[in-house]
């Protein structure tokens, strides 16, 4: 089963968007990256998905896992 993901990506017209993995439409538009990350983290936690954060050039700058991690750390 493919993992659910949400991405924080730059909007070509300015600002930042939150997009569900594989979706064309944005699920939220924000002026700043920090605002987008904050909201995306809430969505990701609610839906148990992976949060992937991108830089302006499209490269991945970070990720948070809020789902069922298939490899949880041994404690």
Helix (H) or strand (E) holding 35: helix 33-47
pLDDT tens, position by position, 16-36: 999 999 999 999 999 999 999
pTM to 2 decimal places: 0.84
Q: In the structure encoding, which two tokens stand for residue 47, read together?
A: 């839906």
- Whether 75 has a pLDDT exceeding 80, the answer reads no
So where are the chain's domains?
5-65
Rounded distance between C-alpha atoms, residue 56 and residue 60, angstroms = 9
Its sign, for the CA torsion 50, 25, 40, 59, is positive
Q: What is the pLDDT of residue 72?
A: 53
Q: What is the pLDDT of residue 38?
A: 97
**DSSP letters for 39-51:** HHHHHHHHHT-EE
Distances (CA, A) of 64 to 13, 16, 51: 26, 18, 5
Q: What is the pLDDT of residues 35-61, one digit of tens each?
A: 999 999 999 999 999 999 999 999 999
């Amino acid at each position: 089963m493919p993992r659910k993901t949400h991405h924080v990506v730059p909007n070509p017209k300015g600002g930042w968007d939150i997009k569900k993995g594989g979706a064309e439409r944005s699920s939220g538009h924000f002026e700043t990256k920090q605002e987008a990350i904050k909201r995306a983290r809430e969505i990701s936690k609610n839906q148990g998905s992976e949060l992937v954060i991108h830089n302006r050039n499209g490269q991945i700058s970070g990720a948070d896992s809020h789902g069922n991690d298939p490899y949880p750390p041994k404690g």
